[in-house]
Amino acid sequence: MNLTLKVWRQKGPEDPGRMVTYQVKDVSPDMSFLEMLDVLNERLILEGEDPIAFDHDCREGICGMCGMVINGVPHGEQKATTTCQLHMRHFEDGATITIEPWRAAPFPVIKDLVVDRSAFDRIIQAGGFISVPAGSAPDAHSIPVRKEDADAAFDAATCIGCGACVAACPNGSASLFVAAKITHLSLLPQGQPERLSRAKAMVEQMDAEGFGGCTNTGECTAVCPKGIPLDTIARMNADYLKANAK
């Protein structure tokens, strides 16, 4: 496969950045999207140019590090798939592919396609945890959990914090990420004592980071590589309202 790539290049946080066009030849359809970029980067290094910086780690779709907006869609148009698990066979030979970083004020670009997602860490630090006495693990059956709750909590817990929801949202809202974390803990018995204070603290931190508000467009859940449902946002809103009513 031969491809034309239009890639966002930005030397550093202060550089205004621009789109640069590259030709990539002899791409195997079995390559992942990141492997295709690796091939281009090897060539750029041999030519003495600066390789394209992009985030990646596990390359098996579970770490949440990779992520770029491919042809206007975070992680590309393939549903429920991270960029590292997106394969070149989903593209046509001779295609032009536009690659951009996540675009949001709370996610400043560090270089090229790499953005700083520390805002997510600070939201987790604000309340995305449970306070328990440390020690040996309790018996698995000591606290009963309904099967439905366990399933829904697990679905929410599959969020890898990649930030695609923010990138896709027309408002630059982090609601799906925050809601997934809040839902995951609020459905389990261990999350109950801090349930309302957690929701309040995390939503307030989300606002303080400068993310936009949710308008329920559903763009986030459509691009989420883990398919986190909009239900989580309804749960977050309910907990946040309860916390404020007290």
Partner 1 sequence: MTATIERGTATAPVPSTTAAPPAPKPRKRPSGFLGSSTGKKVVMAVTGAIMVGFLVLHMLGNLKIFFGKDSFNEYAHALRTLAEPLLPYRTVLTVLEVILVASVVLHMWAAVSLARRARRARPVKYVAKKSQAGGYVAHIMRWGGVTIALFVVWHLLDLTFGVVNPKGYDSAPADRMIAGFQPGRWWVTLFYLVAVVMVGLHLRHGVWSALQTLGWARGGRRRMLQVLAGALAAVLVLGFLAPPLAITMGFKG
Structure tokens at 201: 């603290």
User: Can you say how many angstroms the Cα of residue 83 is from the centroid of all Cα atoms in its chain?
Assistant: 11
Site string for partner 1, 108-147 (x = CB under 8 A): ----------x---x-------------------------
Please report which residue ranges of 137-208 form alpha helices under DSSP H.
147-157, 164-168, 175-186, 195-208
- DSSP annotation of 161 reads -
- Please state whether beta strands 73-74 and 96-100 pair in parallel, antiparallel, or not at all (unpaired): unpaired
Q: How far is the CB of 145 from partner 1 (least distance, A)?
A: 18
Q: State the Cα–Cα distance between residues 195 and 183, nearest whole angstrom.
A: 9
Number of helical (H) and strand (E) elements in the chain, helices listed first: 8, 7
Contact 40, 34 (CB under 8 A): no
Interacting stretch for partner 1, rule CB under 8 A, among 24-32, 84-92, 139-147, 238-246? Answer: 238-246
Does position 51 interact with partner 1 (CB under 8 A)? The reply is no
Does position 45 interact with partner 1 (CB under 8 A)? The reply is no
Total binding residues toward partner 1, as defined by CB under 8 A:
52
Does position 197 interact with partner 1 (CB under 8 A)? The reply is no
Does position 244 interact with partner 1 (CB under 8 A)? The reply is yes
User: Can you say how many angstroms the Cα of residue 172 is from the centroid of all Cα atoms in its chain?
Assistant: 12
| 80-99 positions binding partner 1, by CB under 8 A | 98
Does position 231 interact with partner 1 (CB under 8 A)? The reply is yes
Residues that bind partner 1 (CB under 8 A): 6, 8, 19, 69, 71-73, 77, 98, 100, 103-106, 118, 122, 168, 170-173, 203-204, 206-219, 221-223, 230-231, 233-241, 244
